């Protein structure tokens, strides 16, 4: 499987994402500068964390208008897996690929620590290697990570089983404890915690490895069936 790690000005977790895909998973991966917008030859798209464009206007707002987003929409429309982590999640929200918005943390401070999550949906292409309601540990590192949506959107997320991860302790005040959501089609996942920083035990947790393994295994199943 070949991953594109899309790099914007201000991205600072792209090397972590690349390491997870290339060095730990042993899959193909390339750092793709956002102006090199051809993503046609990649099987999966990874949007890393950081502070794209310095988080001017709103986190992810400027990056969401870049030309590469057209390519990402096309890839998502073809059913390719798209994973946005932290600032990558914010970009997906601003681009309308996922519903809702991100607010400042409830304590109005930047937070950076390990956090327990609950796997609410283990039937997505990102989560089949987890057990339902399994408690896993990923680090968080954000100042604007409080997920918000209106009541109708929340009802839709719940009805369609789009809430993939929830916080056990809800450190940032996210509505319904939401830590990660998927689109209705199930191939675009946005989450604030960092699975790419939890792929080796030396990092304090290797719970994130199952997420990347799920992507690869499910992609291979689809690829074999379709070819």
d(CA 132, CA 1): 26
Of the CA atoms within 13 Å of residue 54, those in its CB half-sphere come to: 2
- Known catalytic residues? 86, 194, 196
∠ at Cα 29 (23, 32), nearest 5°? 130
Joined together, the tokens standing for residue 88 give: 């990558």
d(CA 13, CA 87): 9
d(CA 205, CA 90): 24
Look at residues 84, 18, 16, 11 and name the one whose alpha carbon lies nearest to residue 2. 18
């Amino acid at each position: 499987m070949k991953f594109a790690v899309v790099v914007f000005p201000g991205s600072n977790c792209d090397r972590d994402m690349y390491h997870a895909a290339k060095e730990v998973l042993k899959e193909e991966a390339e750092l793709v500068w956002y102006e090199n917008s051809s993503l046609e030859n990649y099987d999966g798209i990874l949007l890393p964390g950081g502070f794209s464009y310095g988080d001017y206007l709103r986190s992810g707002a400027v990056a969401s208008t870049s030309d590469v987003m057209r390519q990402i929409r096309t890839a998502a429309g073809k059913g390719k897996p798209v994973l946005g982590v932290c600032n990558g999640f914010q970009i997906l929200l601003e681009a309308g690929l996922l519903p809702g918005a991100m607010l400042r943390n409830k304590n109005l401070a930047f937070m950076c620590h390990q956090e327990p999550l609950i796997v609410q949906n283990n039937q997505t292409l990102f989560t089949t290697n987890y057990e339902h309601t399994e408690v896993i540990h990923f680090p968080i590192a954000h100042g604007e990570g409080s997920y918000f949506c209106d009541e109708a959107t929340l009802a839709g997320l719940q009805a369609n089983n789009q809430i993939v991860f929830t916080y056990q302790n809800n450190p940032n005040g996210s509505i319904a404890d939401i830590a990660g959501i998927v689109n209705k089609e199930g191939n675009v996942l946005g989450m604030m915690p960092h699975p790419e920083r939890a792929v080796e035990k030396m990092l304090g947790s290797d719970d994130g490895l199952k997420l990347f393994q799920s992507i690869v295994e499910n992609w291979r199943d689809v690829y074999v069936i379709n070819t």
